[in-house]
Amino acid sequence: MATQDEAALREELRLLEEDLPRLRQTAAELRERVGERADAPTDAAEMATLITMAEEQEAFAATLEARREELLRRLGQL
């Protein structure tokens, strides 16, 4: 049973490790769009929406990072 639990934890950890860079990249791209102005939002509301989306992506990444740390801690205890 422990090996099955460990395998599930390792799989979840693998998926988190794949998702985190994509989330960070998405947030960075959103912030870049706000800062560049070439393909910039046309008004303050649109700009605020992009900033909010970037902040949401960063918050989600932070949540996943915390989950990753928890998984690593649990795997260390097995």
- Axis-axis angle for helices 2-36, 44-77 (nearest 10): 160
Q: How many domains does the chain have?
A: 1
CA atoms within 13 A on the CB side of 24: 9
**Structural domain containing residue 59:** 2-77
At 8-65, the pLDDT tens digits run 999 999 999 999 999 999 999 988 888 776 565 567 888 888 899 999 999 999 999 9
Please report the pLDDT score of residue 77 as a whole number: 80
Q: Give the residue, 5 or 2, on which the prediction is more confident.
A: 5
For the question of whether the overall pTM of this predicted structure is more than 0.85, the answer is: no
Please report the pLDDT score of residue 66 as a whole number: 96
